[in-house]
Amino acid sequence: MSKKKLSLLLVLIGLVALMALAIDGRVRFPMLNRVVIAVLSPINSGVQTLTGTVASLHSKVRAITTMEAENEQLKKENAELRRANIAMAEFYAENKRLSKLLQYKEQVPEQKLLPAKVVGRNMGDLRDLVIIDRGAADGINKEMAVVTGDGLVGLVEEVYPDAAKVMLITSSRCKIGARILRAASRAVGVVSGRSVENMPLEMEHLPREADVIKGDVVVTSGFSGRHPSGLVIGTVKETSLEAAGLLLTADVDPAVDSSKVEEVFVVTGYHNPAAEAAKLNSNTEGGQAQ
């Protein structure tokens, strides 16, 4: 190394040493101190600004991370609350339906009732069938009445070992003997469906002079002996004369909304005074003939 370079290096080392001593406060060089301050102040300011910016950025990142975690937790809690609300609403609805069924069972001790659940529906154009989870193994037979706490749902049409098809009362294929519940009337006819959604049932074969008015409750007559009397079918909406003017017909709003039925009772046995009277008369006539 040349002498010139060596001398320059020694001068630089000496200056650095003096600046270090000045910064440390051990040696006071007023002129040098001013130079040091002039040189280091911008650097120190920049470092402090950068440090503050980094600290602020770190704080913001930490706040955003915390907010994201809190939002995620809130989302989970909201989802859990939503599921809990749905489960509670389902439980409340089921409890309400079952309470009504239980109340109905207590009101008709003369009927043997088998609980069942609707497990399928006819999704075709007619929509006049539902499938229940009870069948021949449970003692179900054709023509048995299927009811809820509101009234008649329909009649058993087909039976399988562990399931059965129920023909809804709204079906045009379903025909059932009926009468007006009002004591002053007791008019008798036949109720059938129209197989059209949101259409009233039709009560036919009523005499022209039959005492049937709007608001009358229509129930099963029980005359056929295949199902009990007194099952609520619906309420008379309006009456009209047939085309020939000889018979009266009545539109009947069904008591049960079959589209919402989930739990039902199948009437597997009942006390039917009318059927017993008919059997007694038959036996009496047979005895007299002998």
**pLDDT tens digit string along 244-259?**
778 999 999 999 998 8
Both structure tokens of 261:
């039925």
Residue 63 C-beta-side C-alpha neighbours within 13 Å = 6
**pLDDT tens digit string along 197-246?**
778 999 999 999 999 999 999 999 988 888 899 999 999 999 999 877 78
Both structure tokens of 173:
């294929």
Domain chopping of the chain, boundaries: 8-107, 112-270
Backbone angles phi and psi of 249, in degrees to 5:
-125, 155
User: How far is residue 237's CA from residue 202's CA, in Å, rounded to a whole number?
Assistant: 10
268-283 mean pLDDT:
65
- Please determine, looking at this structure, whether the domain spanning 112-270 carries the CATH number 2.40.10.340: yes
Residue 268 C-beta-side C-alpha neighbours within 13 Å = 14
Q: Does residue 92 carry a pLDDT above 90?
A: no
The pTM for the full model equals 0.64
